[in-house]
Structure 1
Amino acid sequence: MEQRIGASSKPSGAEPLKAEPVTGAGFDPAFIPGITTPAPTKSDEPEPEDAEPSAESAEPADAKAPEETPEADETTEDDGPDDGPVFEAADRRARIVADRKGVRLRLDEESCEFRWDEIAAVETESPRFGKRYTITVHTPDRRWYPIEIEAAARARFTEWDEQLDAVLDAYFEDAG
């Protein structure tokens, strides 16, 4: 017996619908929305049907000259001297950097970057006891990304609050 799940709006005799591959944490335990992307599948890159191999693809990979140097990747047209305030805090596992480009979070080998126009709010929390300073980046689509930095001493919390406030005052514009 054949069962169909869901409604089908195709006329009979038409080509069957192709199923999209299912991605996400249910199929890839390392998938974290906003931080990692799903692993590419073969169907993500369509192959041209009538393409002939070009002279470029016939050359070995090491014979090609690099198009861009690493220095060219780091600087763009609007990059000038980084005169403004910069906030940086790190411990043995976690790191946060907030500067004129945005906010970058890193935990172990995972990292993510937010431009200032992608951020709805930045929240800090100092614990009553302990030395873990929490910074949470909120996005407009109601997602949040917390990171905890372990301080050497509780006195660092006020110093970090002042530095982060200076960066937020300089670069973050609240649209509300």
Structure 2
Amino acid sequence: MTTPPGFGPPTPIQPPYGAPPAPYGGPAPYGAPHQAPYGGPAPYPAPYGPPPPADGPEFVAHDRRNSVIVDASGVSLEINGHTMDFPWPAVATVHHAPSPHGGAVLMVAVAHPSGMLYECRIDAKRKAQLHQWLAELGPVLHYYLANRPPHA
């Protein structure tokens, strides 16, 4: 009695080009997940040396929908309830300026090492609040970004 087609053990398939070798020299078990080497790769490249001290200065600005937080862990942008966290190794630089169209709007942009730019705008209730944010944000960014070598 022969086994009908489609039944029985699975047909071995060739691993894709560049796939890691199977453990112990044999084929990987059917359906076995690919596992990275112990510890895995670093989540971000570390071109900027040691991380900043944990007790550094902080900056927080927010309005009804958006916010910016800069602290020892990195930069967080919240836009309409969606948060993007950028640890310092994932930050090439941070730009900030008042809105060029007048009004009391703080614009903050995080440049990722890949070249992507993420921008957040925070409405200040008064121009005095905007000027205070601009005066506070510059020194905090300088503290975290000044001692890093230039991005390659």
Do both share a fold (TM > 0.5)?
yes
Instruction: Name the residue aligned to 1:175.
Output: 149
Q: Does 2:147 correspond to 1:147?
A: no
1:122 and 1:160 map into 2 onto residues whose CA distance is 15
Q: Which residue of 1 aligns with 2:96?
A: 124
- Equivalent-residue separation in structure 2 for 1:141 and 1:156 (angstroms): 33
Question: Which structure has more RCO (C-alpha within 8 Å, separation ≥ 6)?
Answer: 2
Structure 2 gaps, min length 5: 1-11, 17-29, 34-50
1:16 offset after TM fit, Å?
Answer: 8.6
| 1:104–1:112 contact (8 Å) kept in structure 2 | yes
Of residues 108, 125, 129 in structure 2, which corresponds to 1:156?
129
**Residues in 1 aligned to 2:70 and 2:93: alpha-carbon distance in whole angstroms:** 13
How high is the TM-score relative to the length of structure 2? Answer: 0.59
Deviations 1:100-122 (A, max 9, x none): 11101111221111111211111
User: Structure 1 segments of 4 or more deviating over 4 A?
Assistant: 14-18, 46-49
Identity of aligned residues (%): 26
Tell me, in whole angstroms, the C-alpha distance in 2 between the residues paired with 1:168 and 1:175. Answer: 15
Return 138-147 or 107-116, whichever deviates more: 107-116
CA contact (8 A) 1:120 1:174 kept: no
Residue 104 of structure 1: aligned partner:
76
Residue 115 of structure 1 is matched in structure 2 by 87
Q: Could you tell me how far apart the structure 1 residues matched to 2:123 and 2:31 are? A: 49
* Matched residue type, 1:175: P
**In structure 2, what is the Cα distance between the partners aligned to 1:17 and 1:47?**
12
Select 1:89's aligned residue among 34, 49, 61.
Answer: 61
**TM-score, scaled relative to structure 1:** 0.52
Aligned length in residues:
106
